[in-house]
Amino acid sequence: MLAIDGTATAEDLQAVLPTPDRRRRGAVAVIECFQEIPCNPCADACPRGAITMPENISQRPVFDPDKCNGCGVCVGRCPGLAIFVVDYSYGEDTALLKIPYEFRPLPQAGDSVTALDRQGAAVGSARVVKVQEQKNRTTILWLAVTAAMATAVRNIRLSGEVRA
């Protein structure tokens, strides 16, 4: 499906998700970089060396989830908006997501928003925990969502926004 409409297939996603055991241990990045293009800001940004690049910069990044602490620095540095952080240890049935967000107006901490999947379809609601603005970088939204939809949510719609 990625080659047809740019949306990752279930198989594509399964290949990049850290193991269930690693996801249960705390915050960890998920790198949905499926195309081979010359790019490496994520590797340069990672303070723990969890993301590295092969010799050929056009290849996809190599990720070691055991070195990742879920800090999210890579999320705001990825020009393709292809990285997010998921933390299943946030609550019993609630996960915390850190997703890139480049729209205005920004939501506020405490806002309830509509959670959207990769194709822009509503999949539930989310609570904005934190809005992390970065100088000259992509804003990172921290969202509390149900654990069941944690790997599906990739964007939001603010209350009152009109659908296109």
pLDDT at residue 159, as a whole number: 82
87 is in which domain, residue-wise? Answer: 2-157
pLDDT category at 90 given cuts 50, 70, 90 is: very high
Whether 163 maps to a domain, the answer reads no
Number of structural domains (the chain) is 1
Whether 88 maps to a domain, the answer reads yes
Whether 164 maps to a domain, the answer reads no
Whether 162 maps to a domain, the answer reads no
* Closest among 112, 15, 6, 25 to 66, alpha carbons compared: 25
Residue 162 pLDDT > 70: no
pTM over 0.85: yes
Q: 29 CB contacts (<8 Å, ≥6 apart)?
A: 50, 51, 63, 65, 68, 70, 72, 74, 75, 83, 84, 85
* Closest among 118, 120, 113, 107 to 30, alpha carbons compared: 118
pLDDT category at 5 given cuts 50, 70, 90 is: confident
Mean pLDDT estimate for the chain: 91
